[in-house]
A and B are shown apart, each in its own frame.
Chain A
Amino acid sequence: MIQFIINNKPVNTGHNPNTPLLEFIRYNLNLKGTKTGCNEGDCGACTVLIGELQNGGNIKYQSQTSCLTPLGNVHGKHVVTVEGISPAKSPQQLQNRPLSPVQEAMCNNYATQCGFCTPGFVMSMTGHCLSEQSNTSANLKVAIDGNICRCTGYHSIMRACKELEARFPEKTAFGSPVEFAVENNIVPEYFKNIPGEIVALHGALKTLDLQGQRVGGGTDIYVQKHDTVKRISLDFAGLQNIPAIEISNGKVVMSSATTVTHLREHEGFSRLFPSFIKHSKLVSSTQIRNMATIAGNFINASPIGDFTAFFLALNATVIFDSDRRVALNKLYLGYKKLDKSAEERIAAIEFPLPSSHSFFNFEKVSKRQHLDIASANSACLMVVEDMVITDICISAGGVGPTPMVLNKTCAFLKDKALTDAVIDEALVITQSEIAPISDARGTEQYKRLLINQLIKAHFIEYRKR
C-alpha cells in the first residue's frame, strides 16, 4: 500500500507504484486542476508541491512535475495540488471565487489567458512562498523557470511576481515558511496540522517492498516512457535514502539521494562554490532540480549530461554500494556503457575540495539558454600561479559518445604560460581529441567551433574574475 496525504485527505492505495503521480491525481483522485502538458517535465503544467517530513518535525515543501514523479515516490509525503491551496468557497460563491494572494496577483495582472498552464504557475509560486527563499521577484522568477506559458509572453506573470514581492513581509518574521504562508493566507489553515498527520502516518508506514531498476527522482526514466514504465519493475528506494552532504578532510562526499536542489541549498557547499547557484541555474528547471539526483545524472550516461561534465572537472569518484570506487572519468566505457554491474548502485559521490586559489568555471550553450539540453558543455578547474597554469582539468560534453576529460589539451596546457597564443595552440589539440556528430543539438561543425569557444570562455571568465 502506498500511503500519503493529498491536500487535506489521506490516501491509501494499492495502485501500481510506477504510475506517474499526474495520472493518479487526475484520473484516480479526480483532481483535474493539475494539467497534462508535455508528459516529460518540460512545461510545468502538472506542477504540484511535495512536502517531506524533516528531522525537526516540520515539513519542507518543494515543487515537482507530477508527470515525472512516480506514485511510489510520494509514499509518506504530503502532496499539494491547486485544489489544496485555493481558499475554501461557500456554495453561494458560484461567481466570485475567493483567491489566494498568489492567485489574486495573477488575476490583477491579467497573467492568465487560456489558463491551461496557470495552475502550474500558481503551484510553483506557492512553492516559492513555502520555501526558505526570501520574497523577491527575482526568486519568484527562478521558481517559475520550469513553467511554460504559450499565451502571455510572461511579462504579466512577472508583474504578478513584483506585486507579491511588494505585498508580503519578509519570511524571517515568522517561525517557519509554512507559518508565513498560513498567516498570509497563501495556503489554508489545515497546513498547520499536516506535520502531526504525517508523523502519525509515518508511525504506521509500511515499507514498499520493491525490486528492479533504481529510480531516484524519475526525471530520466519517466521521460517519454509512460507507456513502458508501468510494465517494468522499479525500485523507489532511491529517494527514501537520506540526502547527505559531508565536507571534511579536504573532500566532499554526497549520498546518492542528493538532488541538485540539496546542493544549491547546502550552506557549506555554496560557500565553497559560490558560483554553483549561477551554474546550476543553466541546468533544467526548479521543479526538475528538486527531483533530479546528481547520481542519476551520472548513471544516465548522456554524452551531454551537464553535471557529469561539471563533476568530471572536479575529479569526482563514484562509490558503489559494493564499496567499489571508480573515478568518474573512468566510468564511461562507450556510448551509454558504464563500468558498473547490473546490481551495483551508487552509494555516494566523492570529490576533493578544490584548493582556495583554484579557479572553477562551467559553460553550457543550448538553443534556449535555460531548461534545454546543451549543444555542448564544459567545466574547467585550474590553478594559475604567476600567469602559469600549474594545474588544469577541462571536461567536455556533447563532443563524443561519452562525457570526457580533455586529457591531451590539459596535458599541453599544464605548466604553460596563460597567453592567447597558448590557448589557440591548445584548441588545435582539443579538436584532435573530440569526435562530435551532427544531431538535433547541432552540426558537427558547430559543435567543434562551440567547444573551442567554451574553452576560451573559461579563460575569459578567469581574467574577469
Chain B
Amino acid sequence: MSATNERIPPTQTNIDSQTHLRGESLYLDDIPILTGTLFGACLGSPVAHGHIRSIDISAAEAVPGVIKVFTAKDIAGENEIGGIIQDEPLLADHEVHFCGMPVAFVVAETWDIARYAMKQIITDIEEHEPVTCPRKAKELGMLIHPPRTHRLGNVDEAFENCHYIFEGQADSNGQEHLYIETQGAYAVPQENGQIRIYSSTQGPTAVQKAVSKVLGVPQHSIEIDVTRLGGGFGGKEDQANTWAALCAMAAHHLQVPVKYALHRLDDMAMTGKRHPYSSDFKIGLSEDLKILAYEVTFYQNSGASADLSPAVLERTLFHCNNTYYIPNVRATAYPCKTHLPPNTAFRGFGGPQGMFVIESAIMFVAEKLGVDATDIQYRNLIQTGQPFAYRQLVDSDAQNCWHAAANAFNIGQIKKDIAVFNEQNEHYKKGMAIMPICFGISFTNTMMNNARALVHIYSDGSVNISTGAVEMGQGVNTKIMQVAAVTLGIHPRKIKILSTNTYRVANTSPSAASATADLNGKAAQIACTALLNRLKEVAAQQLNTTELDHICFKNGLVYLDDAETALTWEAVVMTAFVQRVALTENGHYATPKIHYDKATEQGHPFAYHVFGTSITEVTVDCIRGIYDIDSVKIVHDFGESMNTGIDMGQIEGGLVQGIGWMTLEEVVYDAKGKLRSNALSTYKVPDVYSVPGTITILPLETDKDNMAILKSKAVGEPPLMYGIGSYFAIRNAIKAFNPNAKIALDAPMTPEKTLMALYS
C-alpha cells in the first residue's frame, strides 16, 4: 500500500459498480466449478394437494449419467426446514401441499442429464381438492397459528359516536420477486464432515440452521458463504434454504460437490411470493372527517407452510393505520393456510398490504361522501406523541412531509391542471393521488436486532471487514465501507468488504427489514472505534502525549491538535503490530430501547419511523384501457443520507416495484393451484417504458437526531409504498371518465380491470 494523504471521496459510487459493469462480479452460477461437481434438478409436485402413493425413480436412475435420485427417505437428519414454525418438510413425504413442492432431487453429471432424468420420475399422487382462497381456508379452520389482534381504545363504543360509518372489502394480490438471478446453491464437502455451501441467500444463518438440521450435523460444521445476490427483495430471506439443503444433502451423502442453480420456470413455480390479502374494513368518522374508529380483519394467504408468514402478518398489524392517528382500533389478522407455495418476505413485509386497506377505506369514504380523499388523509396524519395501536408513541414527521410536498409541488395547482385537462379531453383522463407513508424500522422480533462485524487491520495498514450483511444491490457494503473509512480516517481503497460467511460472523440476522446497514454498520463502527482507540494510544506514545482526545486520524495521517504530524496510518499500524497490539476487533451492536410483548401486543418495537409523502399523476387512455404514470413527486425523510446516490436509487427502485405490484404485476393461480403466470412472458414487471415519466425526490429538511447509522435512515422498504398511490390515481382517472364506474378495491389495477371499469 502506498499513497497516504488521500482524501475520502465526498461521494461514493457503489463499490461493486466497476466489476458489475465489466461483467466480472461473481454470482452463484459464476463460481468456477470444481472437478467432479455434480448437478442437481428438483422435481416439484404436479398437484397442489394430495397423498403420495408412490414415487418411481427407477427410470430416472437408469438414465446414463445419473448418480442418484434423492427422496425424503434419504434424509439423514430431520426432514424439516421451517424457520419460525417447524411445519415445512424439505422433500414431500406422504403428502403434497402445493404445486411445485419439492418431491425428489436428481443428481447427475450434467445439468441437462439431471433435468432430463427429473422428467422420467413417475409420481402417483391421490389428488385432493386444493384450497387457494384464504377466506375459505379460514372457514375450514386451516390456520398457520391462531389469529392476532391489535387494540387501541374501544372500537365498539367509538362506532356509536361516529357521524359516518362505512364498511367494505379490499384485496391485494401477491407479487413475484423476480430477482434476475434465480435461486441456487453449490455445496462442497470439506474434510472431517464439514461442508461449505455457496448460497444465493439473504439469510446465511437460516441456511446454516436448515442444513444442520437436514444433515443432522452441528452448525459449526456448516460454512455458508455469500458474495452477493443478483437481487433478493425478500425472496431469498427464507426460501434459499431448500436448494442449499438439497445440495448439501447430496454432497454430504456422495462426498462430491453438488450444484443447483434453478431454471426460471422452476424458481417461479416452486417459491412463494408476496402474500395476497383479502380484508374487511369498517371505518367510522366524525362530521369533520376525523377517523374515530377503525376495525379491520386481514385474511393473509400464507400458503402451504408458515415460512415467514407470522412475522409478515405481525407487520401488517403494525402498519394497519399507515401514518394516521386513529384513537380506536381493532385489527385482527388470520394467517390462512392454503395449497399455494409458502408465501414469504417481500420488500415491505406485510406493511404495504396493511396500508393498502386503510387507504382503500379512506378512498371508499371519500367516494361515498363526495369529498376529496386527500382531505381525509391530511386531517388524520399522526402527530408527535400520539400512539399507534401497538402503543409506541411516535416522533412524527408526517405533517412535515405533507406540508413540504404541498409547498414544493403545489398540490392545489396539480388538481386544477388535472381538472382542466379532463374538461378538454374526451379520450384521455388524468388522475392523481397522494400517498403519505410511515414505516417502522427494526425487526419486529426484538431478538433479531443485533449484528456483528469482524475487522482485521493487517500489518501493512490494509483493512478487511466481515459482517452479517448480504450485498444484494442495496449498497450495504458501500455504506459499511464508508462507515469504516470515516471512523478510521483512511481512504476507502484501503478497505475490503468480504463475503458474508458464517465461519467469520456467526448467528446473524438476515439482510432484511431495511435494517441491514443500521445494524451491521453500527457493529462495524463499534469495531473500528475500538481499533482506532488502540492505535491512538500507540500514536500518543510516539507523539509524547497522553491526551488521546487531541489525536485524530484523517486522510491516512495522524493529527495532533488539528496539526498534521509526521505519523502515517501505515506507520502507526506497523508500530502497533510490533508492539503486539491486537489489530483485530469484533464489534457487536444490539439496538437499544426496543421491546415488544406479543401477549399484550404492546411495546416499542421500532428504533424509529421513516416518513414521506408522494404525489402520483397518471393518464388513462379511455379507449384502450391502458395508462401511463406521468409523474411521481416525493418528499422523503432520509434523516441525513450518507450516500444520496445509493439512497435515491433505493427510492426510485422501490417506488417502481410498488407501482408494478399495484398495476401490471398479476400473479395468477388456476383453481387447481397451478401457477399460470409462471414465466417472464406471462408475468410482467415494469420495463423502461412503464415507469413514471418523471420522478422527483426531495429530502425532508430535518436536523432531528435518530438511531440510524450516521443518522442516515433506512431506505430499503419504505419507498415501495409510494407505489400504492398509482392504484388510487388510476381509479380517480377512471372516475373522471365514468363517474358511475364500479371498481372493486382489488389491486392490481390491470389494463383489463381498467377497461372493464371504464365501461361498467
Contact = CB atoms under 8 A, between A and B. Distances in A.
B229 to A, nearest CB: 6
Interface stretch (B101-109, B285-293, B302-310, B644-652): B644-652
B750 A158 contact: no
A97 B24 contact: yes
Interface stretch (B15-23, B383-391, B734-742): B15-23
Contact of A154 (B26, B119, B177, B656): B656
A122 interface: yes
Given A110-B649, A368-B684, A460-B427, A32 B30 contact: yes
Contacts of A371: 687
Contact of A115 (B230, B645, B648, B677): B230
Given A110-B14, A115-B228, A368-B664, A453 B755 contact: yes
- Majority DSSP secondary structure for residues of B touching A: loop
Given A113-B14, A372-B684, A449-B759, A82 B22 contact: yes
Residue among B116, B119, B655, B687 with max Cβ neighbours from chain A (10 Å): B687
A38 B264 contact: yes
B179 to A, nearest CB: 6
A117 B231 CA distance: 10
B649 A103 contact: no
B472 interface: yes
Interface in B161-203: 177-182
Nearest to B268: A38
A373 interface: yes
A446 B757 CA distance: 11
Contacts of A194: none
B137 to A, nearest CB: 25
B474 A113 contact: yes
A116 B30 CA distance: 11
Contact of A110 (B177, B646, B686, B751): B646
A453 B622 CA distance: 9
Given A443-B752, A460-B623, A148 B668 contact: no
Interface in A385-422: none
A227 B686 CA distance: 28
A330 interface: no
Interface residues of B, number: 80
Interface in A130-148: 141, 144-145, 147-148
A227 B119 contact: yes
Interface in A75-117: 81-83, 86, 95-97, 99, 103, 106-108, 110, 112-117
B20 A154 contact: no
B681 A150 contact: no
B653 interface: yes
A43 B689 CA distance: 14
B648 A110 contact: yes
Residue among A147, A152, A366, A457 with max Cβ neighbours from chain B (10 Å): A152
Interface string B608-632: 0000000000000001111000000
A383 interface: no
Interface string B682-708: 101111111100010000000000000
Residue among A38, A42, A366, A446 with max Cβ neighbours from chain B (10 Å): A38
Interface string B653-671: 1111100000010101000
A115 B20 contact: yes
A172 to B, nearest CB: 26
A367 B627 CA distance: 10
A365 B648 contact: no
B115 interface: yes
A122 B19 CA distance: 12
Nearest to B748: A367
Interface in A334-384: 363, 365-373, 375
Contacts of B115: 227
Contact of A99 (B18, B625, B646, B676): B18
A99 B695 contact: no
A355 B16 CA distance: 57
A114 B688 contact: no
Interface in A221-277: 223-224, 226-227, 230
Interface in A146-182: 147-158
Nearest to B655: A153
Interface in B39-54: none
A33 interface: yes
Contacts of B685: 148, 150
A39 B263 contact: yes
Given A35-B180, A110-B13, A113-B649, A369 B695 contact: no
A369 B231 contact: no
A45 interface: yes
A107 B462 CA distance: 25
Contacts of A155: 652, 691, 695
B685 to A, nearest CB: 6
A141 B688 CA distance: 7
Contacts of B24: 33, 97
B337 to A, nearest CB: 26
Contacts of B30: 32
A169 to B, nearest CB: 23
A10 B47 CA distance: 48
B263 A453 contact: no
Given A113-B14, A150-B657, A32 B679 contact: no
Contacts of B474: 113
A95 B229 CA distance: 21
Contacts of A62: none
A127 interface: no
B327 interface: no
Given A113-B14, A155-B652, A33 B23 contact: yes
B755 A449 contact: yes
Interface string B717-760: 00000000000000000000000000000000011100110010
Nearest to B695: A155
A153 B722 CA distance: 13
Interface string B148-165: 000000000000000000
B493 interface: yes
Contacts of A99: 18, 21-22
A293 interface: no
Contacts of B493: 95
A37 B653 contact: no
Contacts of B17: 106-107, 110, 112
B170 to A, nearest CB: 22
A227 B179 CA distance: 23
Nearest to A118: B20
A36 B475 CA distance: 22
A365 B624 contact: yes
B18 A148 contact: no
Contacts of B95: none
B470 to A, nearest CB: 11
Given A151-B653, A369-B690, A445-B756, A82 B23 contact: yes
B687 A108 contact: no
Contacts of B689: 141, 145, 369-370
Interface of B: 13-14, 16-27, 29-30, 112, 115-116, 119, 177-182, 228-233, 261, 263-265, 427, 472-475, 493, 623-626, 645-646, 648-649, 652-657, 664, 666, 668, 676-677, 679-682, 684-691, 695, 750-752, 755-756, 759
8 nearest A-B pairs in the assembled complex, by CB-CB distance:
A33-B23, A114-B473, A116-B230, A115-B20, A153-B656, A113-B473, A42-B680, A82-B23
Interface of A: 26, 31-40, 42-43, 45, 81-83, 86, 95-97, 99, 103, 106-108, 110, 112-119, 122, 141, 144-145, 147-158, 223-224, 226-227, 230, 363, 365-373, 375, 440, 442-443, 445-446, 449-450, 453-454, 456-457, 460
26 contacts: A32-B26, A37-B680, A38-B679, A39-B265, A96-B18, A106-B21, A107-B13, A107-B18, A108-B13, A113-B474, A114-B230, A115-B230, A122-B23, A148-B180, A150-B180, A151-B649, A151-B653, A152-B649, A154-B686, A155-B652, A157-B688, A367-B750, A372-B684, A446-B756, A456-B623, A460-B623
